[in-house]
Amino acid sequence: MLSPIISSSSLQLVKEGLSKLKQRFDGARDEPYVVESRQFKALYFDSESTQSLMDVQAPLRLVVSYTETMMGFLMFHSNPKSIAMIGLGGGSLAKYCHHHLPNTSILVLENNPKVIALKDQFHVPDNGPRFRVLEADGAEYFRNTEEQFDVLLIDGYNKFGQAAQLCSEDFYASCLACLNPGGVMVINFSGKAGLNQAYQERIDRIFGRSSVLVMEYDRMNQILFVSNSDLLSVSSADLYKRAAILDESHEIHLPRTVQNFLTQRKVDHFQERSP
């Protein structure tokens, strides 16, 4: 049975409740910290932004809708051989992929050792043959590595939006070089929509293909999908068929993601053809 997604209004109430709990920590130290209620555990970097949210009774469940949308890469790679992620946070995506994609090698790049030090509190798996969390600057790692991946998940931001080193032309070119043929990259943009549009245009220019930028219902996040092939052009009927199949093993509301994806793809296509 599909777990109910938290509505934007309910999620806001959760965040407000946790915010009251964390007030005693604000300004006490310049480092990430954890606040826990009976139902949820949250990771904070500062007094304004919630970096991660975990259901303490179901640690693997994706609580926040944007993380479910990012898992939409399954529509194009249902069983990838390799995934690289930038940004650990509370490990929501990392945990989910590790559990539900047992044949996938997963690399997580996190530049803050204090975040990594908290990973046990969020049930992030230990490093092993197919799962690694490395302390590294993701942009620098991609720039210097010869590794290639089927899927890239970019989820590194702060209260001002996308981290500067993760939205440059050099970074996007490095991402393109790190993708296997037929690969897909998914980025969580959390910031001003105008800047996100500029980043999208930059990505489209570097990849030489049109990306799809999906607005979340809470309008706090925009999720960008881009590929180095024609993966994103799959027909609507095929996407819905894939969602139905994947829905049997993934409780992440894929039909909702498909609908949002197709709506935005249609809008983008119309704008491209308009005089």
89 and 193 fall within a common domain:
yes
Point out the least confidently predicted range of 52-56, 181-185, 228-232, 265-269: 265-269
Per-residue confidence at 48, pLDDT binned at 50, 70, 90? low
State whether 197 and 77 are in the same domain: yes
Whole-angstrom Cα distance, residue 194 to residue 192?
5
**Residue percentage of the chain with pLDDT more than 90:** 67
- Whether residue 268 is contained in a domain is answered as no
Would the pLDDT of 29 be above 60? Answer: no
- The predicted model scores a pTM of 0.87
Please indicate whether residue 155 is annotated as part of the active site: yes
Same domain assignment for residues 89 and 144? yes
Assess whether pLDDT exceeds 80 at residue 2. Answer: no
50, 108: one domain: no
Report the distance separating Cα 240 and Cα 242, nearest Å: 5
The amino acid at 138 = G
- Do 29 and 75 fall into the same domain? no
- Does the residue 234 lie in any domain? yes
**Residues 16, 126: one domain?**
no
Clarify whether residues 23 and 159 are in a common domain: no
Residues 119 and 228 in one domain: yes
Whether pLDDT at 240 is above 90: yes
So what's the pLDDT on residue 249? 93
pLDDT per residue as tens digits for the range 108-122: 999 999 999 999 999
Let me know whether 22 and 139 are in one domain.
no
Same domain, residue pair 44 and 149: no
Q: Are residues 94 and 225 in the same domain?
A: yes
| 252 belongs to a structural domain | no
Asked if residue 270 has pLDDT above 50, the reply is no
User: SS3 letters for the chain?
Assistant: CCCCCCCHHHHHHHHHHHHHHHCCCCCCCCCCEEEECCCEEEEECCCCCEEEEEECCCCCCCCCHHHHHHHHHHHCCCCCCEEEEECCCCCHHHHHHHHHCCCCEEEEEECCHHHHCCHHHHCCCCCECCEEEEECCHHHHHHHCCCCEEEEEECCEECCEECHHHCCHHHHHHHHHHEEEEEEEEEEECCCHHHHHHHHHHHHHHHCCCCEEEECCCCCCEEEEEECCCHHHCCHHHHHHHHHHHCCCCCCCHHHHHHHHHHHHHHHHHHHHCC
Return the pLDDT at 50: 66
254 close to 72: Cβ distance less than 8 angstroms: yes
Q: Is residue 150 part of a domain?
A: yes
> Could you give the number of structural domains in the chain?
2
**Residue 27 lies in domain:** 8-55
Residue 271 forms part of a structural domain: no
Are 69 and 204 within one domain? yes
- Catalytic residue (one of 120, 155, 218, 247): 155
In a domain, 251, yes or no: no
Within a domain: residue 173? yes
Residue 107: CATH number of its domain: 3.40.50.150
Q: Is residue 122 part of a domain?
A: yes
Q: What pLDDT score was predicted for residue 109?
A: 98
